[in-house]
Amino acid sequence: MLSRAAQVLTLADGELGPRAGAAQGALGLREQYSVVLQDGVIAWCGPADTLDRAAVDAGAGARDERRAEVEELDCRGKVIMPALVDSHTHVVWGGARKDELERRLAGADYEEIFAAGGGILSSVRQTRALPEDELYNQTHRRLSRMRAAGTTTFEIKSGYGLETETELKQLRVARRLQNEGGFRVRSTCLAAHAIPAEHRGSAEGRARFLALVTDEILPAVAREQLADYCDVFCDRGAFTPEETRVIFQRARALGLRPRVHANEFGHTGGAQVAAELAAASADHLLHLDARERAALRDAGVIATLLPGTSTVLGKPFADGRALVEDGVPVAVATDCNPGSCAFENLALVLALACYGCRLSPAEAVCATTHNAAASLGLARELGRVADGLQADLLVLETDDYRDLVYHAGSPLVHAVYQAGARVA
């Protein structure tokens, strides 16, 4: 039992689906509430003074006669909120690109580095060379750090293979992290992340790679049930809208719902494709006009903002304020990856979404909990503090949730619970 919190952010007053507009800032804040966790779920949430402690102890005893009373964490002066949901990561990778960090700080542009064979292609070379068990071990350490910072649910993309064997290796690691590592994971096939070096330089090579994705990689992924989603990097220097539609047509036939890297480098058509296909999420969105925002809103697409990437690359921030005002539901994620943003702390990125994307603290909390869960099809299971939901919760060492932004980056996480068990 988590007792007598100064604030509980329940997010329990709104719709089950993604929240937009004014609803995105409605946190369902309660004061002096307690939360009871039983069998991995939230059994009760209400005013501390109305809690029937005898009934709670009796319930605990019925489940486990060895326990004389229920375990209790005194949360006076603290905040209870849903654990964070990171709905856009690339955390399964091999090697590092710290040399590129120094090149960027010296003035090199991301696209310039990519054109010279760095960027994604550098991670492809290193990930292809790494054995699966070592890839698993490296990623397990990353996710453990991310969970200690407050995140219990992760979307994990492939995309550093760009050929069948390594794409499957990455996705197997993602599945193992859930089945063996105890993390909650949704996986995404991002084989269409870039044109690999061996297929670059000619229209024929490009066509061969597109066929490899649609005719070999995606069917193999579906056959082994390794992914929940398919993603395409639809932007300048990657895949065109026409190529993206071809890939998603095949993915949908195989039961994989679209997610789209869109409009990071310009008005390059990705947001429009996401709207046409009613994608689960359109991500990045640094360049977005009123027409594109309306299309996303009308199609029910969640806009996932990645302000950590803007920070690292020195790019403009996506305009979260305009998205909220135009009624588009917004999520926020780390984009944790080896090159353009290796940030692991989603709580820090939540703050960047306020300072860079102009979200309010309340909107950013919703963006990293309920709306992020909704983008992964998990809004009925987690992302709120309500009876019957998974007991994925954070206890913050503060009496005001706005300190997540006011004291951005400070170690405010006092405890992390996943399915009712304290994991950090």
Per residue in 188-197, pLDDT (tens digit) is 999 999 999 9
Task: Tell me the CATH architecture of domain 2-81+384-422.
Answer: Roll (2.30)
| pLDDT value at 185 more than 80 | yes
Mode of pairing for the β-strands spanning 413-418 and 393-396: antiparallel
Q: What is the pLDDT of residue 63?
A: 55
User: Residues spanned by CATH 2.30.40.10 within the chain?
Assistant: 2-81+384-422
More confident residue, 113 or 387: 387
| pLDDT value at 111 more than 80 | no
Q: What is the pLDDT of residue 109?
A: 82
Structure tokens of 383? 């992302």
| pLDDT value at 68 more than 80 | no
Q: What is the pLDDT of residue 400?
A: 98
Under the banding of pLDDT at 50, 70 and 90, the label for residue 114 is: confident
Q: What is the pLDDT of residue 258?
A: 98
Q: What is the pLDDT of residue 67?
A: 46
Q: What is the pLDDT of residue 105?
A: 85
Under the banding of pLDDT at 50, 70 and 90, the label for residue 66 is: very low
Q: What is the pLDDT of residue 99?
A: 83
| pLDDT value at 65 more than 80 | no
User: Residues spanned by CATH 3.20.20.140 within the chain?
Assistant: 84-375
Per residue in 222-262, pLDDT (tens digit) is 999 999 999 999 999 999 999 999 999 999 999 999 999 99
Question: Can you give the three-state secondary structure of the chain, one letter per residue?
Answer: CEEEECEEECCCCCCCCCCCHHHHHCCCEECCEEEEEECCEEEEEEEHHHCCHHHHHHHHHHHCCCCCCCCCEECCCCEEEECEEECCCCCCCCCCCHHHHHHHHCCCCHHHHHHCCCCHHHHHHHHHHCCHHHHHHHHHHHHHHHHHCCEEEEEEECCCCCCHHHHHHHHHHHHHHHHCCCCEEEEEEEEECCCCHHHCCCHHHHHHHHHHHHHHHHHHHHHCCCCCEEEEEECCCCECHHHHHHHHHHHHHCCCEEEEEECCCCCCCHHHHHHHCCCCEEEECCCCCHHHHHHHHHHCCEEEECHHHHHHHCCCCCCHHHHHHCCCCEEECCCCCCCCCCCCCHHHHHHHHHHCCCCCHHHHHHHCCHHHHHHCCCCCCCCCCCCCCECCEEEECCCCCCHHHHCCCCCCEEEEEECCEECC
Q: Kindly report the pTM of this predicted structure.
A: 0.95
Per residue in 21-42, pLDDT (tens digit) is 999 999 999 999 999 999 999 9
CB 141 within 8 A of CB 215: no
| pLDDT value at 295 more than 80 | yes
Q: What is the pLDDT of residue 100?
A: 83
Q: How far apart are CA 305 and CA 283, in angstroms?
A: 6
Q: What is the pLDDT of residue 102?
A: 82
Calculate the alpha carbon distances from 23 to 27, 282, 303, 355, 422 in Å: 9, 20, 15, 20, 30
Determine the average pLDDT of the residues in 152-165: 98
State the burial class of residue 233 (Cβ atoms within 10 Å of its Cβ: 0-12, 13-18, 19+). buried
Q: What is the pLDDT of residue 112?
A: 81
Of 2, 71, 4, the residue nearest 33 (C-alpha): 4
Per residue in 343-395, pLDDT (tens digit) is 999 999 999 999 999 999 999 999 999 999 999 999 999 999 999 999 999 99
Q: What is the pLDDT of residue 110?
A: 74
Q: What is the pLDDT of residue 108?
A: 83
CATH class of the domain at 84-375? alpha beta
Q: How far apart are CA 111 and CA 119, in angstroms?
A: 8
Per residue in 198-228, pLDDT (tens digit) is 999 999 999 999 999 999 999 999 999 999 9
Q: What is the mean pLDDT of the chain?
A: 94
